[in-house]
Amino acid sequence: MTNSSHSDSRISGSIRKCGLDDAKLLHRLSVETYVDTFDGTSSDEDMQKYLEETYAEPILREELANPDSMFFVISMPSGAQTEAQRQGHRSGNAGADSADSACFVNPGDFADTAGADTGNLSNSTDSVNPTDSANSASPTSPVNALDSTETSAGYMKLNFGDAQVEDMGLDAMEVQRLYIRKAFKGCGLGTQLMNLALKTARERGLKKVWLGVWEHNEPAKRFYTGKGFVRVGQHAFWQGDDKQTDYLMAREV
């Protein structure tokens, strides 16, 4: 980034719905953000097993093809920085979002147009290396860039009807996954995605939105509580062969 004399202006992420061609991108985003969030919460073997059983590209393609599921990717201009990065500090893994800081960008640092070229992503489909994905977490890494002007910053998966992992009824929608990359936490991107989720539920005439969150993920629980979600139950979550507990949280639309 150049040391431009332009004044800083607050920016927001751009969101688009994913298609089958986004399986590679979602694979990399999913592995990177999951490892960043849950590394050390089980054995390496259990983590590896979970990643391979959940985020392999063929599995993601099946999910993308399911008419009762929707994926969205949120992107930021490549010149964007969190306030923490501007002051030389690494962003913390504090949950889906934070209201304490904002993203800014020098408008002259990037072009006005952007595409969605994922040609630089890994071709791996059958194995997942969490170490490689964690090491590629820099927002300027070519393996994570959408193109020269935008960088993928996070994603969300919504489930309807029978695609929900719990039978919450046909009038409910599940937010199964909502992850923001470490470098972009504190930019309000989690809030943007959650607002889209609630808007989607309202447009479909649904009455309830729900999700599962690990019982020990305090930042995420605070985030969802702040969005109006309350605990309504719990269920078992298997990270490999490690049985864990997720709290179920829900709110009316």
CA 168, CA 178: separation in Å to the nearest integer?
A: 19
CA 193, CA 216: separation in Å to the nearest integer?
A: 22
Coil, strand or helix: which one is 242?
A: strand
Q: What is the DSSP letter of 145?
A: B
Nearest to 158 by CA among 171, 175, 143: 175
CA 196, CA 34: separation in Å to the nearest integer?
A: 21
CB atoms within 10 A of CB 190: 26
Active site residue 155: no
Phi, psi (rounded to 5 degrees) for 130: -65, -30
CA 89 from centre of chain:
22
Which sequence positions are flagged as catalytic? 224
